[in-house]
Structure 1
Amino acid sequence: MRRYKRTLLALALATSVVTGTAGWASGSAQRAVTGPPPGSDAWVEDRSLGRALPHPGTASAREVAGFFRTLSDAQQRVLVRRHPLVVGNLDGVPVALRYRANSLAVRGTSFDRLAVDGRQILAFDPRGRGQVAEVYGDLERARTVSVVVPGADIDAGTFDRANDPYGTPAGMAKSLRTAAGDGTAVIAWVGYTTPVGVGLDAATGDLAEAGAVRLTRFTRGLTAVGIPAPVLFCHSYGSVVCGLGARGGDVAVSGIVVMGSPGVRAGSARELKAPVWAAKSAGDWISKVPHVRFLGLGHGDDPTDPEFGARPVPARQVHGHSGYFAPGTDSLDAFAAIARTGGGR
């Protein structure tokens, strides 16, 4: 009977999306940004060091890290100057070098606010709506690392908007870093094309699948340069990205925390191959989204369902869909404890 009811819900979801009779149909279709960083063609052709540079589309993060370890400081500076967008986005490049490259890459763009002194921009891709990753804390010396993966309506222009501090990855990351304290670093990662609104993109997994590939490479790039495997804090549609990346065991992580999740495209926490925590506020509108999958629509079981097997995170003090990182909430206290221990290592 339960399976029958779920099938009927799934059919209703599919019908509402296709016919546009429900809120799911109010979004705007997006094309995922994929592939190597902009400027890669010039990078591949560059022989200024007297040898080939690692191919941005095929070299692993470990291979990139190994290549950069062979370079002198002067050679590194040459590459930063000639190819800031590639160096700044190439996973496996040393952290400090990526900061330097991205400080150059953002200047003169519509996102030049990111070049303000003191900002630690770990990735910047101006294509599409823009993608960015920013670090809070000392990433190179941190004992534990966390990565915030956002949901819909987030890009390089909105990831740090001031009027919604705890509904943006920058605000979430800052709040988590403050609560977790010294010895931790938190990365606000807007490294994939997010859905706009709650349309078909949000109901399907296409953007999440593309995002999972980018998240996998990003986390492997951290570990390739000696950064601890991070805990992922995945909000809303971002939890779909994390789930798809983790199901294959490809993402280099020490734990996964999902909040306000529509589902992670997995039938149980065991499928994610890492410790999993889940939080959902009673007042979160995501509770109205059917936790089903049918004809590619929907994202599956509710991670907060006890049968899913995730460890519960309290969210009694959370307001709405974007209040999980608000100071003073029980959810933030729990998140900070997870971040401090690196997923319990």
Structure 2
Amino acid sequence: MRFRRTLIAAMVSVTILAGTGAAAAGAAVSDEQIAITTPPAGSTAWTHDHSLGLTMPNPATASATDVARFFAGLSAAEQQRLVRKYPLVVGNFDGAPPALRYQANEQAMQQELAHQQAKVADSSTDSADRIAAQSRIAMLQRLLTPGHQVLAFDPRGRGLVAEVFGDLSTAERVSVLVPGSDMDLEHFYGTTAAPLKGTAGMAMQLRSEEDAVSPGTSTAVIAWSGYVTPVGLGADAATARLAQAAAPRLESLMSGLAVTAHPDAAPSLFCHSYGSVVCGIAAPDIAAPQGVSDMVVFGSPGMDVPDAAALGDGVRLWATARNPGDWIGDVPYLEVAGLGHGADPTSSDFGSRVISSTGSYGHADYLDPGTASLRNFADIGLGRYPDVTCRTTGDSCLSGL
């Protein structure tokens, strides 16, 4: 198995480096990441807690509808008791009231902050662990600044997090940003020089554009770094293993939104790079009571499906034309023995609605201000389909709408 992973990593690296040269020369070939597929800490104690005289919904199996019903049946005092006792369970429970989740995750982050500060203060902590702890402290302090709405938080591994920009309780349009590789708690906000390389930065940019296009529409955008992403350009990026583990988590998020948020239309999904693999695998199980969900992929290496029809009837797929500086176009669009992610969603026979990305350049720059892709994303998120610009004049990306 180790030999196979090493071989895959080598093949991917050679392919990408051969196609992109200096642009990818610094890319790392990563070790295999461990997917998080189990409920958060405290879940076992939660399921065995009979102090309320109720059967607690199982974090591993309960539907969002059942979770919503459970919390709706609690008094405010009972809800607060559970937040204090099980912040990680409540904070990550799709179907629970978002405001309650924000409160629970604030408490969970405060606990993690204290834990990391203790590590830094401990003289026995080695230098590498101290640096990692300091980095996590900085991110936690940022997320704990008043005004942040953290919908999910899990400190395990590299850290999972999701943040809401806007008011989910009143939003007429809701969008979800699903990131690709190298995204985790530490990189959630990108860098000062490159905020759009972080999930939160992309989400804020999308919402800003939506507000500029339609200032009278109430919007919310969720930056969802809720799965373990590949690191670098190794075996994890070339296979669907992590995406398969992530898909149920995305499906759960969407199910939770269906019962806790009530926009005029189904939430839209914006899936970048490896995130489009997650979206492709999750799509057949995404059911939105408000109708069809728009799914927009950009910088996609493939979606692990043969064509748009395989995504199911509940999804309308928009594929963003690759810009000339996006190295992802040099990765072969194929799948052989689990290596690769299949057909190119921007190809003419895939069946997607291909939209323009004029003005963008690079793998992570599709949301740059002034680009056709960013404007298209906003128009799709707002449901302003007649304003969307197709890849080329005369394209039929708007047919049937």
User: Same-fold call, TM > 0.5?
Assistant: yes
> Alignment partner of 2:182: what SS?
coil
Task: Flag the 1:19–1:320 CA change in 2: closer, same or farther, 3 A.
Answer: closer
Aligned to 1:53: 56
Whether the aligned pair in 2 keeps the contact of 1:254 and 1:343 (CA below 8 Å) is: no
- Supply the distance in 2 between the matched residues of 1:29 and 1:16 (Cα, whole angstroms): 11
- Output one character per residue of 1:133-191: Cα deviation in whole Å (capped at 9) or x when no partner: 00011111101110000000000110112332112110110000011114111000001
- Other-structure match for 2:366: 324
* 1:27 alignment partner in structure 2: 30
Partner secondary structure for residue 255 of structure 1: strand
The CA distance in 1 between the partners of 2:102 and 2:7, in whole Å, is 47
Match of 1:294 in 2: 336
Conserved in 1, the CA contact under 8 Å of 2:168 and 2:261?
no
| Structure 2 unaligned blocks of 5 or more | 1-5, 17-27, 113-135, 212-216, 387-400
Matched with 2:92 is 89
Partner of 1:145 in structure 2? 174
Q: Which amino acid in 1 is paired with 2:101?
A: R
Change (3 A) 1:212 1:16: closer
Which structure has the larger Rg?
Answer: 2
Q: 1:236, 1:262 within 8 Å by CA — same for their partners in 2?
A: yes
Name the CA distance, whole Å, in 2 between partners of 1:224 and 1:286. 36
Q: Aligned partners of 1:20, 1:55: CA distance in 2, in Å?
A: 40
**Distance in 1 (alpha carbons) for counterparts of 2:361 and 2:12:** 29
2:317 is the counterpart of 1:276? yes
Residue aligned with 2:306, SS: coil
Residues 105-143 of structure 1: CA deviation (Å, up to 9, x unaligned): 101423422111100000001111100000011111101
Aligned AA for 2:68? A
Give matches, 1:1-345, under 5 Å: 17=9, 22=14, 26-109=29-112, 110=136, 111-113=139-141, 114-162=143-191, 163-181=193-211, 182-228=217-263, 229-246=266-283, 248-250=284-286, 252=288, 254-273=293-312, 274-279=315-320, 280-341=322-383
Q: Shift of residue 21 of structure 1? A: 6.4
3-state SS of the aligned residue for 1:307?
A: coil
Task: State the one-letter code of the partner of 1:193.
Answer: V
Instruction: Report Cα offsets for 1:271-313 as digits up to 9, x if no partner.
Output: 1121111112121000000000000000011111121111112
Alpha-carbon distance, 1:251 to partner:
5.5
- What is the one-letter code of the residue matched to 1:216? E
1:19 is displaced (CA, Å) by: 5.9
Deviations 1:82-125 (A, max 9, x none): 11110000111001100111111101423422111100000001
Contact map agreement 2:12 2:238 (CA 8 A) in 1: no
**Residue type of the partner of 2:160?**
Q
Length, aligned pairs only = 331
Distance 1:342 1:78 in 2: 44
The alignment partner of 2:359 has SS state of: coil
> Cα–Cα, structure 1 residues 26 and 84, in superposed 2: closer, same or farther, change >3 Å?
same
1:81 is paired with a residue whose SS is helix
When the two chains are superposed, the root-mean-square deviation of aligned CA atoms in Å is 2.0
Amino acid corresponding to residue 270 of structure 1 in structure 2: A
Q: How far apart are the structure 2 equivalents of 1:343 and 1:58?
A: 37
Worse overlay, 270-279 or 128-137: 270-279
What SS class does the counterpart of residue 107 from structure 1 fall into? helix
Q: In structure 2, give the amino acid aligned to 1:332.
A: L
Secondary structure of 1:275's counterpart equals strand
Indicate if the aligned counterparts of 1:149 and 1:234 stay in contact, CA closer than 8 A. Answer: yes
Q: What is the TM-score normalised by the length of structure 1? A: 0.91
**Alignment gaps of 5+ in structure 1:** 1-13
Instruction: In structure 1, give the amino acid aligned to 2:145.
Output: V
Letter in 2 for 1:297: L
Quick one: distance in 1 between partners of 2:34 and 2:208?
A: 35
Instruction: Call closer, same or farther: CA 1:79–1:318 in 2, change over 3 Å.
Output: same
The 3 A distance-change label for structure 1 pair 322 and 18 is closer
- State the 1:220 CA deviation: 0.5
Paired with 1:197 and 1:249, the residues of 2 have a C-alpha distance of: 29
The alpha carbon displacement at 1:250 in A equals 3.4
Q: Per-residue deviation at 1:29?
A: 1.0
CA contact (8 A) 2:30 2:231 kept: yes
Equivalents in 2 of 1:206, 1:283: separation in Å?
28
Q: Which stretch shows the higher mean deviation, 254-263 or 52-61?
A: 52-61
In structure 2, C-alpha distance between the alignment counterparts of 1:98 and 1:160, rounded to whole Å = 21
Query: After alignment, is 102-111 or 249-258 more displaced?
Result: 249-258
* AA at the equivalent of 1:209: Q
Deviation at 1:343, TM superposition (A): 7.8
Q: 1:230 to 1:187 in 2, by over 3 A?
A: same
Give the secondary structure class of the aligned counterpart of 1:64. Answer: helix
User: Shift of the alpha carbon at 1:268?
Assistant: 1.2
Note if contact 1:254-1:342 (Cα within 8 Å) is conserved in structure 2: no
SS where residue 22 of structure 1 aligns? helix
